[in-house]
Amino acid sequence: MRVAIIDNDVAQADYLEMSLRQIGCSSHVFESAKEALRAFQRESYELILLEWVLPDLGGDEVLAWIREHLDWQVPVIFVTQYSGSENLVRALGRGADDFIAKSAARAELLARIQAVLRRASGIDPASKVLDCGHHVIDMERREITLDGQKVALTQKEFDLASFLFRHHGRLLSRAHLMEAVWGHGDEMNTRTLDTHISRLRKKLQINADKGWRLSSVYHHGYRLEAVDTPAEATPELAELP
């Protein structure tokens, strides 16, 4: 799980990062809003934790930019010391998924984060099988069948395929994919990812006949989507507020 933390309070960001590690998340910390927004135009995340007051922009402005410009519906949670009811109503009204006071106990913080992630994924965490039409992914057995026939995959091929299918419809950056599958991203040769993508296209027959399209988005990453979904245009850099 890849999480972006936007908070210029170093101690609080460290606390969030340490807490998230307990539930298997890797964190990327941004001390200013504009630094984070620039990153969001190159990279993808599965959750954003946001402070209400930042040195350059208000948290509500950051949220508005995210909802207007990102083509992936990432959940956003405010974790802030400014937890008055007026701010809460304003944040939820603009599309925040939750609003948590920094004084909340770690157990409550993590429980509420996990609840938001469950709602956002649309996948029952208790389910061990993901039915994707011609493709069925068995997470427990680590197997994928195509039209009822098991497909021979390496461990990394299975990890990459299951991650793509769990996040279908979303544009996933190269670093995000490499971090999720190989445990590290930016320093890794992207040819490894491209080679695995090419193999999956062939082995799993990811094409229109099987109901899926796996697109490469130049300078961004990959998107797996159903063929009845209109193809997305290549994202352009959005103007920062």
Residue 161: per-residue pLDDT: 97
pTM above 0.85, yes or no: no
- Lookup: tokens for 129: 């099988």
Mean pLDDT of 59-66: 93
Averaged over 184-210, what is the pLDDT?
88
Tens digits of per-residue pLDDT, 158-183?
999 999 999 888 889 999 999 999 98
106-155: per-residue pLDDT in tens?
Answer: 999 999 999 998 888 766 555 689 999 999 999 999 999 999 999 999 99
Mean pLDDT of 208-234: 84
**What is the residue whose two structure tokens read 């990062």?**
17
Question: CB under 8 Å to 44, separation ≥6 — which residues?
Answer: 2, 72, 74, 170, 171, 172, 173, 176, 221
Give the pLDDT confidence of 14-50 residue by residue, as tens digits. 999 999 999 999 999 999 999 999 999 889 999 999 9
Domains and CATH numbers, the chain: 2-121 (3.40.50.2300), 129-226 (1.10.10.10)
Q: What is the mean pLDDT of residues 204-212?
A: 96
